[in-house]
Homo-oligomer: A and B are copies of this chain.
Amino acid sequence: MKYAIGIDIGGTNTVLGLVDNQGVILGRDTMLTKDESPSQDDYFKRLFHKVSELTESHPGTKPMGIGIGAPNGNHYSGMILDPPNLDLGNVHVPTIAMEYTRLSVVLTNDANAAALGEKMFGRARNMDDFVLITLGTGLGSGVFTNGQLLVGHGGFAGEMGHIIIDPKGRECSCGKRGCLEMYASAKGITETVIDFQKQFPDDPLLNTLIYGASENGQLGHIDGRVLDTAFDENNETAHNIYNYTAEKLGQGLAQAATLLEPEAFIFYGGIAKAGNRMLDGAKKAMNDNLMSFQQEKIELLLSGLPAGDAGLLGAASLVFNSQ
Contact = CB atoms under 8 A, between A and B. Distances in A.
B262 A156 contact: no
A164 interface: yes
A260 B156 CA distance: 8
Given A81-B293, A176-B289, A291-B175, A150 B158 contact: no
A291 B161 CA distance: 11
B262 A152 contact: yes
Nearest to A165: B167
B263 A153 contact: yes
B153 A128 contact: yes
Contacts of A141: 259
Q: Which of A254, A263, A293 has the most CB of B within 10 A?
A: A293
Interface in A135-162: 141, 143, 145-146, 148, 150-160, 162
Interface string A285-323: 000010111100110000000000000000000000000
A258 interface: yes
A90 to B, nearest CB: 11
Contact of A152 (B152, B166, B260, B292): B260
Nearest to A256: B259
Contacts of A158: 259, 261
Given A167-B251, A255-B164, A260 B291 contact: no
Nearest to A127: B153
Nearest to A297: B154
B291 A162 contact: yes
A1 interface: no
Contacts of A150: 145-146, 260
A260 B262 contact: no
Contacts of A259: 141, 143, 157-160, 163, 256, 259-260
B291 A176 contact: yes
B156 A129 contact: no
A152 B259 CA distance: 8
B154 A261 contact: yes
A155 B294 CA distance: 10
A255 to B, nearest CB: 6
Contacts of A155: 261
23 contacts: A127-B153, A129-B157, A141-B259, A145-B145, A145-B148, A145-B150, A146-B148, A146-B150, A152-B260, A152-B261, A153-B261, A153-B262, A154-B294, A155-B261, A158-B261, A159-B259, A160-B259, A164-B165, A164-B289, A166-B167, A176-B289, A176-B291, A259-B259
